Amino acid sequence: MAGLTLKQVTKQFGEHKAVDGLSLTVEPGEFVALLGPSGCGKTTMLRMLAGFEQVSAGEIHLGDTLLASAQHHVLPEQRNMAMVFQSYALWPHMSVADNVGYPLKLRGMRGAEYQRRVEQALALVALEPYAQRTPQDLSGGQRQRVALARCLVTNPSVVLLDEPLANLDRHLRASMEHSFADFHRRTGATMVYVTHDQSEAMALADRIAVMQAGKLVQWATPETLYREPRTSWVASFIGQGSQLMISNGAPGRRLGGHELMQGLTSPASQRNQPVLVRPEHIQVHPEAPSQQDLTARVERQTFRGERYELHLRMRDGETLLTYHSHALKEGQQVALTLLEGWCLEPDQ
């Protein structure tokens, strides 16, 4: 196992910087996700890690080995990395076992050692009974596990995954999330996972690099990203919540309910601090509110099975998203208690 170090990595296509000065360190055996909307540079970064794209500036290290800089480029086949693609990229005329063993054959391996390594890789993804089937005989999730086994068979230092669940339906994606997590626990491989789906990243990764317009905007654990997003943009991209303007607080500070509600009562001209309030930190009191209460009107609601999702509008026009155990009437006035909020940096 080896870790990855990225130092001010930049990739430029003409005048456009697809990746702009990205720096981070991935620890050996860590599962990290590159997360962001389409066009943010995450796949370009993955391709630079794999060696499919050259670095315009900065450096990429695998352990103590320099893989890439503006003057130096180690070829993909010499990096001891393996990549799982969105499209599976399986040979249709080969059996599952032959697909998995293909990288070993390219290295000249044959005989008992070849057989042992293929069987071991298939066991890691629970596909031993399917060794002699062809890819056409498998489900989408099983094909993705074949692709995983094929990348594992060479004992790579790093496994790179490029939106591997994008082609699967919702049910299969949920099942494969468990497979990936189990796969990581059993192998201990260093894994870098590209996705635009925040729920995948939050469920799988030890740490997440959130990217926007080629830049790294926050590098943190899933819990920290949810509880303490740095900017307004990250707060809107990760999870659900409401952003309000208040008159007190400072970026990077958590406010208790009293401070938060006090900051909402100031005149609008004095409110210049954005604060994030997650839905679970809003209590709704449907009984007739008094004049002293913080109030809002129910604009619409959506039944989500175990709860109702309420969209509320406050007197000053600001909106709130919260949950409630049962349906309320649209247009109904309700009293609110805000329990806590997280102060954000304004977007640049």
- Residue that finishes a domain, picked among 230, 256, 282: 230
- Residue 167's pLDDT is what? 65
Q: Which residues have CB under 8 Å from 57's CB, separation 6+? A: 8, 9, 10, 12, 21, 70
Could you list the residue range(s) of the whole structural domain that residue 250 is in? 240-343
Least confident residue range of 42-56, 85-99, 114-128, 164-178: 164-178
Asked whether residue 272 is domain-assigned, the answer is yes
Q: What is the DSSP letter of 125?
A: T
- Residue 1's pLDDT is what? 66
Asked whether residue 213 is domain-assigned, the answer is yes
Least confident residue range of 117-126, 168-177, 296-305, 331-340: 168-177
Q: Domain containing 310 — which CATH number?
A: 2.40.50.140
Q: Which of 219, 211, 151, 146 is nearest to 176 (CA)?
A: 146
For the chain, the average pLDDT equals: 91
**271 with 247: CB under 8 angstroms?**
yes
Asked whether residue 212 is domain-assigned, the answer is yes
Q: Which of 112, 83, 113, 103 is nearest to 154 (CA)?
A: 103
| Span 160-183, average pLDDT | 75
Entry pTM: 0.86
Q: Are residues 206 and 267 in the same domain?
A: no
Q: Are residues 166 and 54 in the same domain?
A: yes
- Residue 268's pLDDT is what? 82
Half-sphere exposure of 181 (CA within 13 A, CB side): 13
Q: Are residues 211 and 260 in the same domain?
A: no
Per-residue pLDDT tens over the stretch 33-63: 999 999 999 999 999 999 999 999 999 999 9
Q: Domain containing 176 — which CATH number?
A: 3.40.50.300
Q: What letter represents residue 178's amino acid? A: H
Cα 289 from Cα 260, distance rounded (Å): 19
- Residue that finishes a domain, picked among 191, 206, 230: 230
Q: Are residues 185 and 150 in the same domain?
A: yes
Q: How many independent structural domains does the chain possess?
A: 2
Q: Are residues 191 and 264 in the same domain?
A: no
- Residue 192's pLDDT is what? 95
- Residue 16's pLDDT is what? 95
- Residue 346's pLDDT is what? 82
Q: Are residues 318 and 194 in the same domain?
A: no
- Residue 348's pLDDT is what? 65
